[in-house]
Structure 1
Amino acid sequence: MAKIMSLAVVGTIAIILLLVIAEQANAISIDADCYGPCTNNCQQLCISKGYTGWTCAAFRTGSGCCCKPRKKQIFK
């Protein structure tokens, strides 16, 4: 009985690790700040916030207006 419980625990941990690894593989790293959905005024929005570039990034739920490069923080 203890062997079956041990196998169940090891199996559960293995499944959780596989899910975490799969999520990391699907993650996209964007060095930008994203503001709402991507529309025709995305470029103007980014320029008004002090950024020099912009892009429309695709996410699972749609696309977002992402301004880049990210603003440099004075205080961390």
Structure 2
Amino acid sequence: MPVNIEKRNIRQNAWQKENKDRINFLMDKGTKDRINLAAEKEGIKASEFIRRAIEERLYKFGIEKEIVIKDQAKEK
């Protein structure tokens, strides 16, 4: 692998580690296919479909991104 690609990957991984959370979970067989089908109907990727679904539920409960980020900043 060329050096410039390795450096780019290191930078991207560092940025993701600092700015993103990763969540892995298991679902019943067939759920992934259902999600992919629904995402395709909306013209988006499955990961975006899942993100939107989660954000909609969080919004419904009044848990908005800005509130959580402010609370985390207070803890530091």
**TM-score above 0.5:** no
Give the TM-score normalised by structure 2: 0.27
Structure with the largest fraction of helix: 2
Whichever of the two has the greater Rg, that structure is 1
Higher relative contact order (CA 8 A, sep 6+): 1
Give the TM-score normalised by structure 1: 0.27
